[in-house]
Amino acid sequence: MTLPYFDAAAVREAAPWTTAIAALERALLNGVDPEEDSPRIFSPAPGGEFLLMPAMGQHYSGVKALTVAPGNPARGLEKIQGIYMLIDSDTLAPIAVMDGNELTAIRTPATTLLAAKHILATAPGGAPEKPRVLVFGAGIQALNHLRAASAVFPEASFAVVGQRPERVKVLVEKLASEGIEVRPASAAGVSGADVVLCTTSSLTPVFDGGLVAPGTVVAAVGQHGLDAREVDTSLVLRSDVVVEGRASAWREAGDLIPARSVEEWKTIRPANLRELVKGEFERTPGRPCLYAGVGMAWEDLVTAALVYEGGTRP
pLDDT in tens, 6-21: 999 999 999 999 999 9
Percent of the chain with pLDDT over 70: 98
Amino acid occupying residue 205? P
Encode pLDDT of 90-123 as tens digits: 999 999 999 999 999 999 999 999 999 999 999 8
The contacts of residue 298 (CB under 8 Å, 6+ apart) are 27, 32, 34, 37, 55, 57
Encode pLDDT of 52-69 as tens digits: 999 999 999 999 999 988
pLDDT of 224 reads 83
Are the C-beta atoms of 9 and 305 separated by less than 8 Å?
no
Q: Is 132 exposed, middle or buried (0-12, 13-18, 19+ CB in 10 A)?
A: middle
Neighbouring-strand partners of residue 225: 253
Average pLDDT on 221-239 reads 93
Distances (CA, A) of 110 to 27, 106, 144, 243: 13, 6, 9, 15
193 three-class SS? coil
Q: How far apart are CA 80 and CA 45, in angstroms?
A: 12
pLDDT of 78 reads 81
Q: Where are the alpha helices (DSSP H) in 95-139?
A: 100-121
pLDDT of 201 reads 86
Q: How far apart are CA 221 and CA 255, in angstroms?
A: 9
pLDDT of 314 reads 46
Element (H, E) at 288: none
Average pLDDT on 165-185 reads 97
Residue 74: band (very low, low, confident or very high) from pLDDT cuts 50, 70, 90: confident
Q: How high is the mean pLDDT of the chain?
A: 94
